[in-house]
Homo-oligomer: A and B are copies of this chain.
Amino acid sequence: MKNWNIKMNMKFGKLAVALALLALAWIPGAQAQQDDAEMIRRIYDLALTEGKAYDWLSHLTNQIGGRLSGSVQAQQAVDYTRKEMEALGLDRVWLQPVMVPKWVRGTPEFAYIESTPGHTNNVPICALGGSVATPPAGIKAPVVEVRSFEELADLGREGVAGKIVFFNRPMDPTLIHTFQAYGGSVNQRHGGAAEAARYGAVGVIVRSMNLRLDDHPHTGSMSYGDLPADQQIPAAAISTNGAELLSTTLKLNPDIQFYFKQNCRQMEEVLSYNVIGEIKGSEHPEEYMVVGGHLDSWDLGSGAHDDGAGCVQSMEVLRLLVKAGYKPRHTLRAVMFMNEENGLRGGTKYAEEAQKNRETHVFALESDSGGFTPRGFTFDCTDAAFSKISQWEPLFMPYLDLQLSRGGGGADIGPLKPQGLILAGMRPDSQRYFDYHHAETDTFDAVNRRELELGAAAMTSLIYLADKTGFDGLTGTQGR
């Protein structure tokens, strides 16, 4: 398109009207709204002209890479983010020790479909996080395809024993919000092996949590629940194209065999850290507001969207507030949580320490849905707090009209919930997220600089508003 006369007056018109109405209806607050509008403009200008998030993300992904809990890369990421936050002139930067599980993938997995003896098709698989290994020679067995735990139960032991169970329920493409589609399918990955083992299956293959047809298997956490160790069976994800091939081959010949081999294993727990940067509050230093993401990632790809983006955006929040000359009233922390993916130990430890040290947390924001164009924030809080928060919406109109809605916060900040604080979640555009999620495709080039920066600016603006406004008497565990 070459149309350079395009009118972009829509949002600005709406903002002008909104601000005018606010000014008329609420004269005492008009100046405050004007100040807020100016501060937010400054934050966005800084983020978009001299942002650091993208450079930080380049280092985390291109120089360090995948950062699975307990890995050398996870430790490098701890050291790197500490060093970078130390350079920001914050009041305090420190490491919070936490023991984390260490699961290692081992040598690359290998799998094939054997249509008839000697005729094989290799298919891309990867072990699910937390899975046991196959025997050293691998497993070869007939396959039974199911779409749900109910189908599995209907087959019963006679239909399943001695076989590999292939869970092949795709993410539902008609769900507009892709996280809903994920929520509707991920039980196969998380609990499929435990379910199948109860019926005597020898292994589990799960269709990757991916809305695209491609050749990349997507890993992710699984759990055997209370299944004794000697009954645990290996579980792997197969790429969506591989799943289609396997399903079609099974339809043509239900007697095919599937072979796979993986030598992943769970090691001893190791010491790791949450990385925390803090600016002391000028008026309420004893009240804490947190912004965070998780520093660990899966080992495939380099954890760019999940959740390098959330980490660098969280560091950027503090940096931008400092750059903008803002002195926070409450104590603000950026927290790089360790081990969200396969244990949530960092989030749990942070909440434990906050409890132990009697740190009152009033607000926590997590970014863990990718570094895409921001669409809004969701809030898990009291009605009274949400009613106050809703009043900020006009301020976000010029910045892609961000929506402030009720909804969840994030996994890492969840353990703080008993404190009754306000939990907030960053909600970017979700359409591309599962193209990359937990796969080797989650790399730096999948992140667009402006989208990442707009997210950081939105988060900074939200933290600014939360800090400036405060929530006296509006937090709590009732009415939410």
Contact = CB atoms under 8 A, between A and B. Distances in A.
Interface in A286-316: 294, 306-307
A133 interface: no
A3 B174 CA distance: 20
A363 to B, nearest CB: 19
A200 interface: no
A368 B4 CA distance: 12
Nearest to A411: B3
A450 B9 CA distance: 28
Given A45-B174, A173-B48, A431-B454, A2 B340 contact: yes
A114 B157 CA distance: 78
A24 interface: no
Nearest to A41: B174
A368 B3 contact: yes
Contact of A1 (B173, B177, B369, B405): B369
A306 B3 CA distance: 12
Interface stretch (A101-109, A182-190, A268-276): A182-190
Counted per complex, copies of this chain come to: 2
Interface stretch (A30-38, A79-87, A88-96, A394-402): A394-402
A407 B10 contact: yes
Contacts of A460: none
Contact of A341 (B2, B5, B411): B2
Give the interface residue-count category, chain A.
35 or more
Nearest to A410: B3
Contacts of A180: 8
Given A11-B177, A448-B432, A448-B435, A183 B6 contact: yes
A211 B454 CA distance: 14
Interface in A353-372: 368-369
Nearest to A404: B10
Nearest to A190: B4
A220 B8 contact: no
A3 B430 CA distance: 14
Given A176-B44, A373-B431, A368 B1 contact: yes
A408 interface: yes
Interface in A152-185: 173-174, 176-180, 182-183
A241 interface: no
16 contacts: A1-B294, A1-B369, A1-B411, A2-B221, A4-B182, A5-B183, A5-B408, A8-B179, A8-B183, A10-B378, A176-B400, A373-B373, A431-B448, A431-B450, A431-B451, A432-B450
- Give 7 nearest A-B pairs by CB, closest first: A10-B405, A1-B368, A4-B186, A48-B173, A3-B411, A8-B180, A431-B450
